[in-house]
Amino acid sequence: MNRFLDQNKDNWQRLEDLLSMHHGTGLRGLSRMEVREFGELYRRAASDLAIARAETRDPKLINYLNSLVIRAHGRIYRAESQGANLIWKFFAEDFPRTFRSNWRYMMLAFGVFAGFVLFGFVATWIDTDFTHFVMLSGITEQINSNNQWWKGLNDANQIGATHILSNNILVTFRVFAMGAFFGIGAFYDLAFEGARLGSVFAACYKLNPPFGNALASFVVGHGVIELSTIFFCGGAGMMIGYAMINPGDLTRSQALKKKGIEAARIVIGCACFLVIAGTIEGFLSPSDMPAIVKIATGVGTGLAMYSYLFFAGRSPSEPPA
């Protein structure tokens, strides 16, 4: 009996210590090595319980080991069953709350983008050669020939939607990643994409107004969500860049970790928004549906998205955004 206790009590105590760490969080609070150690200690404790029941006949020891094994099993079971709950919690609480706590970065990103949309529009209206400056060579020829390239998506909606979705995700991820350069990279990417958008619309309305109306009809259905995700990911990149410049009361590594986690939540949420935008862009936007239907879709999806971001998961103690 004493030998059995001496051989195993350290393992039981270590399992107790791991159970007491990050209580209530399943195994998420443990490192990868600690999770492996936890599993090994749990199996040993279960084996020790079987030996204690068969050989020691000590009710106090059996009750202790039984309680220890049940607690460890419950921690493992809870960790395994939390997958769906974690996903639900992310979309119901974590993502919208993170957005609200960092909305100023999104507004800054929107301001940069909108300012350069206006700049690109005015510059192109004055001189259409500005389209070459924002890498839109050949766009004027397409406008003059009334080549509505987006109509080609009607021929293969699934392929078109997949291509659009992939491209949109790459653009938003690039805007986010560029923010790591002290926020300057995100500023540049937002400015460039904004100038391109303004430039193409100015060229359309100056050279071929009906073409401009057709392009606007194509963009409006998916554009609210798609452009918003660019602002959001640009803002997320700026969050990281600013944490590097001004960590506040935290160390620079702590600030980067904190803002990095928050930025990752925003980017993951934006990727899900882009699935919706890509589906609309691949199926509804290039269709021959009336413009009013596309406008209603853009307005409706925009209202739904921003209502979700500003009101979902709001707790009574949460300060107003």
What pTM was computed for the model?
0.68
Give the residue with greater pLDDT, 71 vs 75.
71
User: 130 CB contacts (<8 Å, ≥6 apart)?
Assistant: 120, 123, 124, 199
pLDDT of residue 157: 47
Calpha distance 160→99 (Å, rounded): 30
pLDDT digits (tens, 9 = 90+) for 238-274: 888 888 888 888 888 888 888 888 998 998 998 889 8
pLDDT of residue 180: 63
pLDDT of residue 166: 58
Contact 224, 302 (CB under 8 A): yes
User: 56 CB contacts (<8 Å, ≥6 apart)?
Assistant: 1, 4, 62
Among 67-71, 182-186, 191-195, 290-294, which stretch is predicted with the lowest mean pLDDT? 182-186
Give the residue with greater pLDDT, 195 vs 321.
195
pLDDT digits (tens, 9 = 90+) for 84-96: 677 888 899 889 9
Residue 54 φ/ψ region, left for φ over 0, alpha for ψ in the -120 to 50 degree band, beta for the rest: alpha
pLDDT digits (tens, 9 = 90+) for 114-129: 999 999 999 999 999 9
**Is pLDDT at 296 greater than 90 in this prediction?**
yes
Amino acid, res. 279: T
Which whole number is the average pLDDT over 194-210?
92
Q: Which of 79-83, 241-245, 269-273, 311-315 has the highest mean pLDDT?
A: 269-273
**Is pLDDT at 71 greater than 60 in this prediction?**
yes
Give the single-character DSSP code of 320. P
**What share of the chain in percent tops pLDDT 90?**
27
**Is pLDDT at 318 greater than 60 in this prediction?**
yes
Among 59-73, 116-130, 224-238, which stretch is predicted with the lowest mean pLDDT? 59-73
Q: Which of 19-28, 156-165, 292-301, 308-317 has the highest mean pLDDT?
A: 292-301
Burial of 152 (0-12, 13-18, 19+ CB in 10 A): exposed
pLDDT of residue 160: 42
Please state, in angstroms and as integers, the Cα–Cα distance from residue 291 to each residue in 31, 216, 219, following that order.
54, 9, 10
Of 261, 249, 224, whose CA–CA distance to 101 is shortest? 261
Calpha distance 169→272 (Å, rounded): 10
Please state, in angstroms and as integers, the Cα–Cα distance from residue 20 to each residue in 27, 36, 75, 210, 301, following that order.
11, 16, 11, 69, 45
pLDDT digits (tens, 9 = 90+) for 139-198: 888 888 887 766 665 554 444 445 545 566 676 767 777 766 666 777 888 898 899 999
